[in-house]
Amino acid sequence: MKKALLPLLLIIPAACTQTPKNTEKSYPIVDSLLRVMTLEEKVGQTVLFTSDWTVTGPSIRQGYIEDIRAGRCGSIFNAYTAEYTRKLQEVAVNETRLGIPLLFGYDVIHGFRTIFPINLGMSCTWNPGAIERSARVAAKEAAAAGLHWTYSPMCDICMEPRWGRISEGAGEDPYLGSLIAAAMTRGYQGKDLAADTTVLACVKHYAAYGAPIAGRDYNTVDMSERWLREYYLPPYKAAIKAGALSVMASFNELDGIPATANRHLLQDILRDEWGFTGFVVTDYTGIPEMVFHGYADDDEDAGRLAMNAGVDMDMQGAAYMNYLADLVRSGAVKESTLNEAVRRILTVKAKLGLFEDPYRYCSPEREKSQTLTQENKAEARAVAAESMVLLKNDGVLPLKKGVKTAVIGALAASKDDLLGSWRGAGEVESVPASILDAIKEVTPVVYAEGCQEEGEDRSGFAAALAAARGASQVVLVIGEDCQWSGEAASRSDIHIPGVQSELLEKLAAAGKKVAVVLLNGRPLDLSAESETAGAILEAWYPGTMGGYAVADVLFGDVNPNGKLSVTFPRTLGQVPIYHYAKNTGRPYRYTGAKYESRYLDVPNEPLYAFGHGLSYTTFKYSPITLSADNFSGSGNLEARITVTNTGTCEGIETVQMYIRDLVGSVTRPVKQLKGFTKIALRPGESREICFTIDRCTLSFYRADMTWGPESGGFKIMIGGSSDNVQEASFSYEE
């Protein structure tokens, strides 16, 4: 393997979370402006409208320029390029009464121009440092194009593969998701938000947007307060604690109240408990949509509800622009409430340095020099390779170089699909190689399309079979069209679409061991493919440099080390399926008894468990050694395990620690991720890993909803995936 060994990366169990201290700096310009602003000018700062993009470049809708000039619009999203944002900023600064600069936002989700793997893919690196670097690259490119603000990180925990937006998040686990949310926030905002290479992070979609009933986007969410706090809220809180200064309210309702008017979420938890000092923005037209929810009489009523609940900025809904001034005049909204919203928005603009220099982000020189650099592309290639998960390998991978290879599948030749959904300002023209192109640079290739990713056309099967028969090794690239995931892209069927799997069956029946490469944005039902394929490499949508990254892994230049951040079910009927499920009163004990919690037609276990991911080498785990059999609240416990590379090549392993609380005042999951370590080992090398367990590691929301541990017995589980662990027991005394 050519990949250099990584240093030890230790992620210890999470510390007790505290409410961030309010160290808010005072900005005199904000107070000065609030004293002289008219009611209409105040309302204008709460209005966010969109720019557009045509074949000739960026454009602004008719009337919006006049709205900016009149002080009726204080922020614009979807406007980028240094030249264009400067023109809009000049209108705000030079042609308005008070010269308040605009705030420019954009969906920079997994890269701006240099596109990284989709977020679900990046989460499979289990490497917060690499994810932070990806956000740093995205921030530099976006800031150089005139942007101040990104609508990321998406902190929505999700165990629902039907939901298209699972592709934008970090998977199913709150511990891993929290580390990633904080890492992305740090990457975007850096150490100095006023630097011209940073952008404002926006925590979204607050809250619990990743749990829509039936996996249908925008659908209702319903869960207990306990479940919400323990499993869904932690990543949002982690991003706030990392310094994020904007939050986006989600489309969904929660406990019968739309998030856009949910005071419990926006005030009680976000501001009062967590100490959030930034501003809250709606999602696109979130305020008027409350009429369709059946929660508001009309747009005016919706505006009243949103402002009084704690929403500071209205994205594209126009409810604030049209009705908020009159709502204040009538007393339906207090002017002090509006003042606080405006103060928060202006303070963030001040933190970004926009009052000192409103054009600091508008540099065509930086836009050219800092975009799609060799360094950025090298980082994207490395992260893409690290994000890939080897689901299965019957000795087919790595492939041999210099050997005739059949590459099959329409997706193999596609550059567009490598970018995935929400690809920022990424362009197909910037993708240097498809998977097919990259493999051609490594080994002789015969290519056949075989079939498209959709439809029933089998006319290409014969050519694909002929190509495979004439080659020594076969790569089949299959999956979903990149537009089949992301917003408004829910699916009721999570099989690989079209006749792609049928083509795999034909190739296997012809006696070929096929290496399957998957391009997809969600967990899929791969039960049939896992029986047929010789190897399966989950590549997700790997981004600008994804073609080369796939080739790096297929041919062994990079040893795959990605681990699943989300469970892959055997069938859709198992969904929702996740690793921190509970035991029930009649757990399945594999005895054949009828009256147990099980299915009649499939096992309870997933096809590929959370944390699963193979390597081209193998690892052996010793038994766990504990520093003691018990400990108390004033101390801690050390758990040690030795991991040995028992294979023939160097590799990287993610050592995962799970905890089970055996008896609680409320029932506890069968396992919870509480720590992990990434280590690099040469063949035959061993390393002892130590995890520290303290009272914070064992804490949860107890029966009275206080946060803390309880005395009793525990299991600790350490291994290479959630379903392949060593176990030991200990007790804790509070």
Per-residue pLDDT tens digits for 157-204? 999 999 999 999 999 999 999 999 999 999 999 999 999 999 999 999
Task: To the nearest 10°, report the CA torsion of 454, 457, 462, 467.
Answer: -20
What residue segments make up the domains of the chain, in order of their start? 374-574, 619-733
How far is residue 241 from each of residues 90, 186, 276, 554, measured CA to CA in Å? 34, 10, 8, 39
Residues 6+ apart with CB under 8 A from 448: 406, 407, 408, 460, 463, 464, 466, 467, 468
pLDDT score recorded for residue 64? 95
Has residue 20 got a pLDDT over 50? no
CA atoms of 532 and 516, how far apart (whole Å): 10
SS3 letters across 151-165: CCCECCCCCCCCCHH
- Token pair listed for 367: 């836009």
pLDDT score recorded for residue 342? 98
pLDDT score recorded for residue 665? 98
CA atoms of 211 and 221, how far apart (whole Å): 6
Has residue 491 got a pLDDT over 50? yes
Nearest Cα neighbor of 637 from 722, 717, 697 is 697
Has residue 255 got a pLDDT over 70? yes
For the stretch 277-331, pLDDT in tens is: 999 999 999 999 999 999 999 999 999 999 999 999 999 999 999 999 999 999 9
Has residue 81 got a pLDDT over 80? yes
Residues 6+ apart with CB under 8 A from 126: 176, 562, 563, 565, 654, 676, 678
pLDDT score recorded for residue 324? 98
Has residue 5 got a pLDDT over 50? no
Count of residues in the chain: 734
Mean pLDDT of 251-269: 98
Q: Are strands 257-258 and 253-254 parallel, antiparallel or unpaired?
A: antiparallel
CA atoms of 120 and 518, how far apart (whole Å): 14
Per CATH, the architecture of 619-733 is what? Sandwich (2.60)
Cis peptide bond prior to 153, omega within 30° of 0: yes
Give me the percent of the chain exceeding a pLDDT of 90. 94
Cβ 409 vs Cβ 369: under 8 Å: no
For the stretch 337-373, pLDDT in tens is: 999 999 999 999 999 999 999 999 999 999 999 999 9
Cβ 138 vs Cβ 116: under 8 Å: yes
Q: At what angle do helices 335-351 and 299-309 cross, to 10 degrees?
A: 70
Cβ 277 vs Cβ 22: under 8 Å: yes
CATH numeric code, 374-574: 3.40.50.1700
CA atoms of 144 and 684, how far apart (whole Å): 47
Mean pLDDT of 441-470: 98
pLDDT score recorded for residue 711? 98
Has residue 122 got a pLDDT over 80? yes
Has residue 392 got a pLDDT over 80? yes
The 3-state DSSP class for residue 464 equals helix
Mean pLDDT of 700-725: 98
- Token pair listed for 117: 């793997």
For the stretch 656-690, pLDDT in tens is: 999 999 999 999 999 999 999 999 999 999 999 99
For the stretch 528-538, pLDDT in tens is: 999 999 999 99
Has residue 235 got a pLDDT over 50? yes
Cβ 445 vs Cβ 375: under 8 Å: no
Cβ 259 vs Cβ 249: under 8 Å: yes
CA atoms of 653 and 523, how far apart (whole Å): 22
Is residue 272 among the annotated active site residues? no
pLDDT score recorded for residue 24? 65
pLDDT score recorded for residue 591? 79
pTM above 0.85, yes or no: yes
First to last CA, the chain: 48
How far is residue 1 from each of residues 558, 610, 652, measured CA to CA in Å? 6, 26, 11
Q: How many CB atoms lie within 10 A of CB 234?
A: 21
For the stretch 31-52, pLDDT in tens is: 999 999 999 999 999 999 999 9
DSSP code of residue 568:
B
SS3 letters across 574-610: HCCCCCCCECCCCCCCCCCCCCCCCCCCCCCCCCECC
Has residue 12 got a pLDDT over 80? no
What secondary structure does DSSP assign to 289-335, as a single string?
HHHHHTS-SSHHHHHHHHHHHT--BEES--HIIIIIHHHHHHTSS-H
Residues 6+ apart with CB under 8 A from 581: 669, 670
Nearest Cα neighbor of 637 from 694, 556, 697, 696 is 694
pLDDT score recorded for residue 313? 99
Has residue 7 got a pLDDT over 50? no
The 3-state DSSP class for residue 183 equals helix
Which stretches does DSSP call E strand in 386-466? 389-393, 405-408, 445-448
pLDDT score recorded for residue 589? 85
CA atoms of 448 and 471, how far apart (whole Å): 12
Name residue 446's amino acid. Answer: V
Has residue 8 got a pLDDT over 90? no
How far is residue 532 from each of residues 457, 527, 575, measured CA to CA in Å? 21, 9, 23
pLDDT score recorded for residue 58? 87
Nearest Cα neighbor of 170 from 125, 218, 229, 217 is 125
Cis peptide bond prior to 709, omega within 30° of 0: no
What secondary structure does DSSP assign to 210-228, as a single string?
T--GGG-TT--B---HHHI
Of 67, 156, 283, 312, the catalytic one is: 283
Q: What is the enclosing helix (H) or strand (E) of 729?
A: strand 724-733
Residues 6+ apart with CB under 8 A from 598: 588, 604
Q: At what angle do helices 546-554 and 374-387 cross, to 10 degrees?
A: 50
Has residue 604 got a pLDDT over 60? yes
Mean pLDDT of 604-633: 97
Beta bridge partners of 511: none
Residue 16, class by beta-carbon neighbours within 10 Å (0-12 exposed, 13-18 middle, 19+ buried)? Answer: exposed
Has residue 19 got a pLDDT over 60? no
As a whole number of angstroms, the longest Cα–Cα distance in the chain is 80
Has residue 1 got a pLDDT over 70? no
CA atoms of 338 and 335, how far apart (whole Å): 5
3-state percent helix, strand, coil for the chain, nearest multiple of 5:
30, 20, 50
